[in-house]
Chains A and B, each alone.
Chain A
Amino acid sequence: MTSTTHCVAPEEIMAFLDGELSAVAAQTVSAHLKDCAQCAMVAEQFRATSQMLSGWDIEAAPAALEDSVGRLAAKAAARRAVVKSRSAGFSRSGGFRGRRLPVIGAVAVVALLVVVVFFPFSRQSAPRRELVLADKPIAGYVQPQQSAERMRGPAVTPYSRSSRALAGVANGSIGALSEDQLEASSMPAPMIARAASLTIRVKDVEASRSSLDSILARHHGYPAQLNVNSPENGPRGFQASLRIPEAEMVSAVGEIKGLGRLENESQSGEDVTRQHADLAARLKTARETEERFRAILQQRTGKLSDVLEVERSIARVRGEIEGMEAEQKALEHRVDFASVEIQLNEEYKAQLGSPADSVSTRIYNAFVAGYRNATETLLGFLLFFEEYGPSLVIWLVVLALPIFLVWRQYRRVRSVADF
């Protein structure tokens, strides 16, 4: 079989025995085998090897196998029958099984769409309608002083009353304090500076803004800051910082929430009672000091330099008093007027007829932007590798060895497993 000079290669003989030769080649080999004893022996050796291998007997397949596969087949047949009876509308038996997943998926997607499209509207529409009905044209924003005055009428809260009492301690002279004011000052009610922040998605910023104006007018509030942002091809945005009388804050915030879909809300209350009491006490001391200096100035005589020194001290104390008074007022204002930050985001609808730049400009701009992006990207890569390259190299070195070992093991195991 090792002969290589023979006219028929042993491999050909093997292929012949396996029936893998073409008819013509098989005929040639067959004829050669009759003539050539050596090749006939090779063929005989092949046959003998196969014969020996055929002695490798395998025990009969276990009976349990038949049972288990029979059970599986019966189960499959039953399932098939169920599917077939269910899928009467489908062209092929078992068709429904294959299509069930897409059908369920499609139903789920439609259901999701329905929820996404209709649910926000159903939540949004009721308060909006109410707002439109309540909408009234407004002449202008109410001034803070006016609103404060109005607020101190019937809508006075315990907090604001106490704050006024404290203010009385600070402003009036000590001797003029009434008994109940003294009581209030000795047991100060909590003063809370409240703040709220709302982010709302609305359909139309303009309409929402006018609704907001009317809400402010009704609740005697005023805007401290307004910022409207309307880009050409994008949703408009509106930010405002509102001041609303503390007593009406809850109802006003409730109405503002009705403008659209609330995306974010946060409320906070800062307790400034102690701060205010400290300020009042410091103010009182400062006023007493001022009084004493004035008394010194009036009653005592002395050198001009002494007089000037006292004058300077009076001026300094006066400055301190005014600063503290301003601070106290601001604090009270924060308590009386809650601060409400609003951000209105519009649902953007692209405008079909919006004027676009000319084609050449756009091509040029796109080119410039593309060039800039490309250079930025390259620069970004460069900077990234400069910044993190050394650490990456360290990590690579640290991790390379275990990764290599695992990979080598994986390759070995795979190659062994494959055959």
Chain B
Amino acid sequence: MPETKSDASGSANSDEPQTVASDEQLMVAFSRGSSDAFGELFSRYKQPMFGFFRRRLRDPAQAEELTQETFLAVLRASSHYEPSATFRTYLYAIGFNILRAHRRKAAFRAMFHGTEDREPSARNTMDSDVWLREAVNRLERIDREILLLREFEQLSYAEIAELLRLPLNTVRSRLFRARTALRDLLAAPAHKASPKDFTEYEERV
């Protein structure tokens, strides 16, 4: 559950002293020209953002590229930033849109040029990662996205609902379904992930 997450601990609502500026304050400062504020925001969110893309994409280079693209989008849009939502939600919304655009592009490339042959990225992939990836992969697409947004990005149900344009109750029931299914999948470790399944999943994302 949320309290167990480590890679989102950079956010402002972690156990930092109250004197530290909130994400939103930093963003406002940055939109007024403070580049230090951006540096601080970047250091807080580079790992969560990289993790966001890395869990959803096979290629670490792509994850890096999309992370960079996300921060570039923040840089560009900074003058229009209105602190209506939390910065975290705002950032993940941007990231999600960039991810979606990337997936579409990749899917269209695959549609017209056939399946892309890329090197499987075994470099940084540990066994436990493969196992977890495989288990998550077995979930339904929307369920998977909701689960990841909740577990790793720690978005609230309402934020997930808004991001995925789904009714709140749907988010809750699908999250329940995803967690139940995942529990069953993780409870049956006899089925190890076969490389084929893994590749199929990667092709899809």
Q: Which residues of A contact B (CB under 8 A)?
A: 1-2, 10-11, 14-15, 17-20, 45-62, 64-66, 68-70, 72-74, 76-77, 80-81, 84, 93-94, 98, 409-410, 413-414, 416-419
Cα(A15)–Cα(B39), bound, Å: 35
Q: Which 5 A-B pairs have the closest CB atoms?
A: A61-B50, A417-B103, A419-B141, A413-B107, A77-B35
CB distance from B1 to the nearest CB of A (A): 4
In the bound complex, do residue A56 and residue B107 qualify as a contact, i.e. CB atoms below 8 Å apart? no
* CB-based contact B2/A418 at 8 Å: no
Within 8 A of A (CB), among B19-48: 32-33, 35, 38-39, 42, 46-47
* Contact assessment for B104 and A58 in the assembled complex, using a CB-CB cutoff below 8 Å: no
Q: What A residues does B39 contact at CB under 8 A? A: 70, 73
* Residue numbers in A under 8 Å from B144 (CB-CB): 419
Identity of the chain B residue whose Cβ is nearest the Cβ of A77 in the assembled complex: B35
Chain B, interface size category, equals: 35 or more
Whole-angstrom distance from the CB of A54 to the nearest CB of chain B? 5
Check A20 against B108 for contact (C-beta < 8 Å): no
* Cα–Cα distance between A19 and B157 once the two chains are bound (Å): 10
Tell me the interface secondary structure of chain A in the complex: helix
- Which residue of the partner chain, among A48, A65, A72, contacts B50 with CB atoms under 8 Å? A65
- Are the CB atoms of A65 and B126 closer together than 8 Å? no
A1/B183 in contact, CB under 8 A: yes
- The reply on B162 being an interface residue by CB < 8 A is no
Q: How far is the CA of A416 from the CA of B183 in the complex (A)?
A: 24
- Given contacts A10-B176, A45-B183, A413-B111, 13 further A-B pairs with CB under 8 A are A10-B180, A14-B175, A46-B183, A49-B186, A52-B132, A55-B128, A58-B47, A66-B46, A73-B38, A73-B71, A418-B100, A418-B103, A419-B145
Residues of A near B78 (CB, < 8 A) are 76
* Mask: chain B, 65-80; 1 = CB below 8 Å from A; 0 = not: 0011001100110110
Q: Give chain B residues whose Cβ lies under 8 Å from the Cβ of A93.
A: 32-33, 79
Residue on B nearest A81 in the bound complex, by CB? B33
- Name B's A-contacting residues (CB within 8 A): 1-2, 4-7, 32-33, 35, 38-39, 42, 46-47, 49-51, 54-55, 60, 64, 67-68, 71-72, 75-76, 78-79, 100, 103-104, 106-108, 110-111, 124, 126, 128-129, 132-133, 136, 141-142, 144-145, 150-152, 156-157, 164, 172-173, 175-176, 179-180, 182-183, 186, 204
Chain A-chain B contacts (Cβ-Cβ < 8 Å), number: 146
30 contacts across the A-B interface (CB closer than 8 A)? A1-B180, A11-B173, A14-B172, A14-B175, A17-B1, A18-B1, A18-B157, A20-B157, A20-B172, A48-B183, A49-B179, A49-B186, A50-B151, A53-B151, A54-B6, A54-B151, A56-B133, A56-B152, A69-B68, A70-B39, A72-B71, A72-B75, A73-B39, A81-B33, A93-B32, A409-B111, A416-B204, A417-B106, A418-B103, A419-B144
Contact status A69-B46, CB under 8 Å: yes
- Complex contact B54–A59 (CB within 8 A): yes
Q: How far is the CA of A14 from the CA of B186 in the complex (A)?
A: 18
